[in-house]
Structure 1
Amino acid sequence: MAFYENRREHYGGALVLFQRNLAVAVPNAQTHRQPTWYMRLKIGGRKGYITRSTKLTVYEDAYEYAKSELLRLQQAARLGHSLDEYTFEKHWHDWYERNLRNGTWADERARWHKMYFNRYFKDYFSNSDSSSMLLNDITSQYAAGYWDWRKSYWSTESAARLQSYNPKRRGAKTRGTANAKKLPALKTLQMEQSALNQIFYDAMEQGRMQQIVKMRVAAKGQTPSRRAGFDTGSEYLVLVRNLRSYRDCVGRFASEGLNAWHKLHRAQLSHFIMFLLHSGLRVGEARQMRWSDVKLDEEVDGEDERIAEVRVSKATKKGQARFVQTQPGANKALKEWQKISPHTEKNDWVWFGQQHDADGKATQIGDLNKSFQQYLRAIDFEGRQDGLLYDRDGDRRSLYSLRHTYATMRLERGDVSVYDLSINMGCKVKQIETHYSHVVSKQRRQQITRTNRKKKSSATEGAVLQDDTFLAEAMRRYKAGELSDDAFFAIAKSSNAAG
């Protein structure tokens, strides 16, 4: 029996419609549904044929679809586009691997792209049967719907189940995914916008997508958010005071089950916290530090205390190196950590993990957020159930909160300009003004509340000058004994009252 059945040619053989004999194609099947029409297309300038299913069983419908596909692919060939059908997932993997090979991203950024693809992008750009959508089936209208879907993602029933139990965390101490905010911040959505636009633009460049899709999240109704910091008064003091007990494993942080690595890990986290509090570095920037990037005990003109200067690697978020001038507290934290760290060679990581590479060198430090949040939860503060883990507005704190606290402290002291602070922190002045406007307002309180005093008239100034001359003459006579005490004090009192 023939494999091709009901073969019908059009346009001189450029378009062929046929059905497959399912008894031949799938001989072991017990029953068969109505056969589907397939199309075989011949595109000028291309070797071989393009054979695909129309997914239609009615001939007239299949013919109209095949005819439109023939015209579309002929136009695509003239424009130099790819004639192969790429799904969103297939293209993303190709795009991702090419960027990895080219060294486009730092390790953290590569992890971000993979995580957000698996969590959000892959899920949204898929068909009802969970198969990935074809790139050419993604319209601008459908892509724009991503934002409403994304904003409500963690409010859905399936996401709620995922939060309470994540199958990927089997065997872990915590199985939930409870750190995701129900409403993502504007900055988070803008990062996703940038990633999706890169993906779709690359698809256009590769000729895999014939329509332009440009993602744009609406900023209206959303205000820029800043991460939770620590109150620079009591909260800051409690945070720092508890570090000694945590580091030395005493008091509420005492534990008999800690081995040597756990104790070293606690010491490292303690110094890491103090360093971030007094340097303002991003966590990713601090993780990239090697001892060769650090200059300790740098002198500052007019200051008794020494600071540390840290070179931030260009393999971090901003993609360019810069030199950060820390506060004396960061210099002290680095010196104390250097005394007890087992890895202090020039090329060693300042902050390291438990694993070692093939050369026996300690690997780069991993994610310390979980350890930091466990430390915050264990702190006794105003009888709160979770200690310092949440701020007064209920926002969960992370290691990034230390950078926010650094900026707040520097601005509250009023000893640094917004411009200088933005350079040192590696961000824009606008970001400082937006996120710390409440602190900048306090810093400029004197200038804001200053009023212009009314300028005195020339007649008033003349009277004051005359009074000053009269008082000076009275003083001369008083010293010469020509005026009594009562007379001099009466003249002085009348002069002050007039002024």
Structure 2
Amino acid sequence: MKTALRHGWISHLPDFSAPYRASGKITHRAWFSPEEYKRLYTHTRERVRATQGTSWEHAVAQMHDYILFMANTGLRPDEANRLEYRDVTIEQEEQDGERILVIEVRGKRGVGYCKSTSGAVHPFERLVKRNTPKPTDLIFPQDHKKQFNRVLEHCELKFDREGNRRSAYSLRHTYICLRLLEGADIYQIAKNCRTSVEMIEKHYAVHLKNTLDAKAINVRRRTRAVVDA
């Protein structure tokens, strides 16, 4: 149509816009609720105990620590796949004395930094002890996609209640949602996850009941007491 307009074959461009703006449905990202997340890591922890002394022991233990590491850092799967041991350091926070991981993340948005929860420290220490790595070795050299899908099927967690399919990305979404449920500052979460506040508000915060202030919602106007004359 633009070519026709330039050649003078038509006098103007027709309006192809829709007469009414469609209201797009906001879809949430598939994540694990606290109860579902506990069911997931309890299952993989029991598998680690059940496979001790077998040829599957290493792979099962790696899967268990992968789940805990991802859900306590909020890394994207592609970021975790590029992560080397030298990119991770264990530090002690000055405020509460908890040990956390400080991670130098290389991903689609360049280089950024991530501070984990304390729950990521023990899985990382087990990874170091189990693999005795060099600093330049990848933390997760194997692709855990197939194994993770099998774990989800065994736990009956492959789909959420809306029918959304879960994947390794769901561990990142779980990290964000759990931080919001605990009352963390949304700007700090966005900064730590290398995303925007708008993305979190659109895909995460609107689906969490704990982000709603019941006191502000249920405010009542004070009425004057009726005094008899």
Per-residue Cα deviation, 1:277-299 (whole angstroms, up to 9, x for no partner): 11111011111111110011x12
Alpha-carbon contact 1:408-1:439 (below 8 Å) kept: no
Match of 1:287 in 2: 81
Deviation at 1:244, TM superposition (A): 1.4
Mapping 1:436-475, distance limit 5 Å: 436-439=204-207, 442-446=210-214, 448-449=216-217, 451=219
Deviation at 1:317, TM superposition (A): 1.7
Match of 2:199 in 1: 431
* Correspondent of 1:340 among 130, 148, 154: 130
> For residues 426 and 321 of structure 1, what CA distance do their matches in structure 2 show?
10
Question: What secondary structure sits across from 1:227 in the alignment?
Answer: coil
Match of 1:325 in 2: 115
What is the identity, as a one-letter code, of the residue corresponding to 1:264? H
What is the identity, as a one-letter code, of the residue corresponding to 2:124? L
Residues 445 and 434 of structure 1, relative CA distance in 2, 3 Å threshold: same
Per-residue Cα deviation, 1:381-436 (whole angstroms, up to 9, x for no partner): xxxxxx2222222222111111111111100111x211110000111110000012
What is the identity, as a one-letter code, of the residue corresponding to 1:229? W
Match of 1:228 in 2: 30
Residues 418 and 447 of structure 1, relative CA distance in 2, 3 Å threshold: farther
Deviation at 1:236, TM superposition (A): 1.8
Mapping 1:95-494, distance limit 5 Å: 220=22, 222-233=24-35, 235-248=36-49, 250=50, 259=55, 262-296=56-90, 298-313=91-106, 316-318=107-109, 320-342=110-132, 344-352=133-141, 365-366=142-143, 368-379=144-155, 387-414=156-183, 416-439=184-207, 442-446=210-214, 448-449=216-217, 451=219
Residues 452 and 277 of structure 1, relative CA distance in 2, 3 Å threshold: same
Alpha-carbon contact 2:149-2:167 (below 8 Å) kept: yes
Question: What secondary structure sits across from 1:321 in the alignment?
Answer: strand
Question: What secondary structure sits across from 2:102 in the alignment?
Answer: strand
Residues 447 and 425 of structure 1, relative CA distance in 2, 3 Å threshold: farther
How many residues are matched?
206
Alpha-carbon contact 2:100-2:117 (below 8 Å) kept: yes
Question: What secondary structure sits across from 1:285 in the alignment?
Answer: helix
Match of 1:119 in 2: none
Alpha-carbon contact 2:83-2:105 (below 8 Å) kept: yes
Deviation at 1:238, TM superposition (A): 1.0
- Please give the TM-score of this superposition, normalised by the length of structure 1: 0.38
Per chain length, whose mean CA-contact separation is higher, i.e. which structure has more relative contact order (CA < 8 Å, sep 6+)? 2
Residues 377 and 441 of structure 1, relative CA distance in 2, 3 Å threshold: closer
Alpha-carbon contact 1:411-1:439 (below 8 Å) kept: no
Question: What secondary structure sits across from 2:34 in the alignment?
Answer: coil
Match of 1:213 in 2: none
Alpha-carbon contact 2:77-2:169 (below 8 Å) kept: yes
Deviation at 1:221, TM superposition (A): 5.2
Q: Give unpaired runs (5+ residues) of structure 2.
A: 3-20, 225-229
Residues 317 and 378 of structure 1, relative CA distance in 2, 3 Å threshold: same
How well do the aligned residues superpose, as a CA RMSD in angstroms? 2.7
> For residues 57 and 89 of structure 2, what CA distance do their matches in structure 1 show?
27
Alpha-carbon contact 2:83-2:138 (below 8 Å) kept: yes
> For residues 227 and 370 of structure 1, what CA distance do their matches in structure 2 show?
20
Percentage of pairs with the same residue: 27
Alpha-carbon contact 1:280-1:402 (below 8 Å) kept: yes
What is the identity, as a one-letter code, of the residue corresponding to 1:265? A
Deviation at 1:245, TM superposition (A): 1.7
Question: What secondary structure sits across from 1:307 in the alignment?
Answer: strand
Match of 2:7 in 1: none
- Please give the TM-score of this superposition, normalised by the length of structure 2: 0.80
Residues 227 and 452 of structure 1, relative CA distance in 2, 3 Å threshold: closer
Q: Which has the larger radius of gyration?
A: 1
Deviation at 1:447, TM superposition (A): 5.5
Q: Give unpaired runs (5+ residues) of structure 1.
A: 1-138, 141-218, 353-364, 380-386, 457-499
> For residues 150 and 52 of structure 2, what CA distance do their matches in structure 1 show?
14
Deviation at 1:448, TM superposition (A): 2.7
